[in-house]
């Protein structure tokens, strides 16, 4: 009987050790996948400068020849617990490529993050919003400022062309090189698409963007960030605050789509939201992020200042 108890206890200890090792492996995997930075391109600016020089013979610049026209207004609807507070930025550009993107710490890869305000300031921006948080996932097509960074199609993306066109497309049916050859300047990989041909897209309230570990539903009333393209020279950005009863409950995706249609968007696309939703203008955070302050993220969309 004594021997039997000893064997049972030994089996328990071995099993417990296995469980600990297993838990440790799972913890390490999660940390490696979602926390530990993995730098793939260490100097994004240098890569983009080289690409620009090869294509045009001149260095790329984040500044524009004339001061960009950016106006920001606060839109409040409803009352009490149904109050919604949104920030709308209307942007007019002489050159569609004046809309640029920047990566946290000027590096491309997974789990590299920085505050929107820090990225915007480093780029000499006059306006910025959070991007698609590409660094949380390892899939999608990522073309930024005319450079291919990732080519693993997985979802519905937004293609912004150098001539001002915008298109919603299926990443799984094309390649980054094909898009670049067709004149695409920047792609975004989050979603869902909200507006196509000036009309709200049906079924956006049923779309899930990711199914990986750590993913949270994008449905319901949430803080939001979205980009809308009115025409080649005019953009509209919307950031909606949320999770703050009495100030702003957030928006559903159909509500966001309807708002963008009302603003004249012919094409519109949902970007990363929740605690990441942020609008920055002329050195100030315009909205009230739901985290109680800025949240570090992997990328921004921004408009540079005049040269």
Res. 12: pLDDT tops 60: no
Q: How many CA atoms lie within 13 A of 286 on its CB side?
A: 26
Mean pLDDT of 211-225: 73
Residue 25 lies in a domain: no
Cα angle 59, 62, 63 (rounded to 5 degrees) comes to 105
Can you give the pLDDT at residue 16?
A: 42
Residue 31 lies in a domain: no
Residue 27 lies in a domain: no
Can you give the pLDDT at residue 57?
A: 63
**pLDDT grade for 7, boundaries at 50, 70 and 90:** very low
> What is the torsional sign of CA 200, 289, 297, 138?
negative
Residue 13 lies in a domain: no
Can you give the pLDDT at residue 10?
A: 32
**Alpha-carbon span 256 to 118, nearest angstrom:** 27
**pLDDT grade for 4, boundaries at 50, 70 and 90:** very low
Residue 5 lies in a domain: no
Overall number of domains in the chain: 1
Which strands sit side by side in the sheet containing 156-161, from one edge to the other? 166-170, 156-161, 184-188
Residue 21 lies in a domain: no
DSSP 8-state assignment for residue 306: B
Q: Going by C-beta distance under 8 Å and a sequence separation of 6 or more, which residues neighbour residue 103? A: 44, 112, 119, 144, 298, 299
172-195, pLDDT tens digit by residue? Answer: 999 999 999 999 999 999 999 999
Residue 196 lies in a domain: yes
159-175, pLDDT tens digit by residue? Answer: 999 999 999 999 999 99
**Alpha-carbon span 194 to 199, nearest angstrom:** 8
76-104, pLDDT tens digit by residue? Answer: 999 999 999 999 999 999 999 999 999 99
> What is the torsional sign of CA 9, 15, 20, 21?
positive
More confident residue, 298 or 62: 298
Question: Which domain does 239 fall in, by range?
Answer: 37-304
**pLDDT grade for 28, boundaries at 50, 70 and 90:** confident
Residue 114 lies in a domain: yes
Please, which contacts does 211-220 make with residues 24 or more away whose CB atoms are closer than 8 Å? 212/137, 213/30, 213/33, 213/34, 214/30, 214/34, 214/136, 216/274, 218/253, 218/270, 218/273, 219/252, 219/253, 220/250, 220/252
């Amino acid at each position: 009987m004594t021997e039997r108890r000893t064997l049972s206890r030994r089996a328990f200890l071995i099993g417990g050790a296995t469980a600990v090792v297993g838990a440790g492996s799972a913890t390490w995997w999660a940390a490696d996948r979602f926390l530990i930075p993995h730098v793939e391109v260490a100097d994004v600016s240098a890569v983009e400068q080289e690409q620009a020089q090869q294509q045009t013979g001149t260095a790329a610049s984040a500044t524009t020849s004339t001061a960009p026209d950016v106006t920001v207004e606060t839109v409040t609807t409803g009352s009490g617990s149904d109050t919604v507070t949104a920030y709308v930025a209307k942007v007019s550009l002489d050159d569609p490529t004046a809309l640029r993107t920047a990566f946290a710490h000027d590096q491309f890869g997974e789990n590299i993050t920085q505050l929107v305000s820090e990225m915007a300031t480093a780029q000499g921006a006059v306006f910025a919003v959070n991007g698609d948080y590409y660094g949380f996932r390892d899939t999608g097509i990522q073309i930024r400022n005319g450079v291919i960074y990732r080519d693993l199609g997985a979802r519905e993306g937004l293609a912004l062309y150098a001539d001002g066109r915008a298109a919603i497309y299926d990443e799984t049916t094309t390649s980054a090189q094909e898009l670049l050859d067709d004149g695409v300047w920047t792609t975004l990989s989050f979603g869902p698409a909200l507006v196509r041909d000036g009309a709200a897209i049906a079924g956006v309230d049923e779309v899930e963007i990711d199914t990986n570990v750590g993913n949270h539903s994008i449905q319901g009333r949430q803080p939001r960030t979205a980009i809308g393209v009115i025409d080649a020279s005019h953009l509209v950005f919307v950031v909606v605050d949320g999770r703050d009863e009495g100030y702003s409950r957030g928006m559903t995706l159909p509500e966001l789509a309807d708002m963008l249609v009302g603003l004249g968007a012919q094409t519109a696309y949902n970007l990363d939201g929740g605690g990441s939703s942020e609008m920055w203008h002329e050195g100030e955070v315009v909205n009230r992020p739901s985290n109680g302050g800025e949240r570090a993220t992997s990328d921004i969309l921004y408009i540079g200042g005049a040269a």
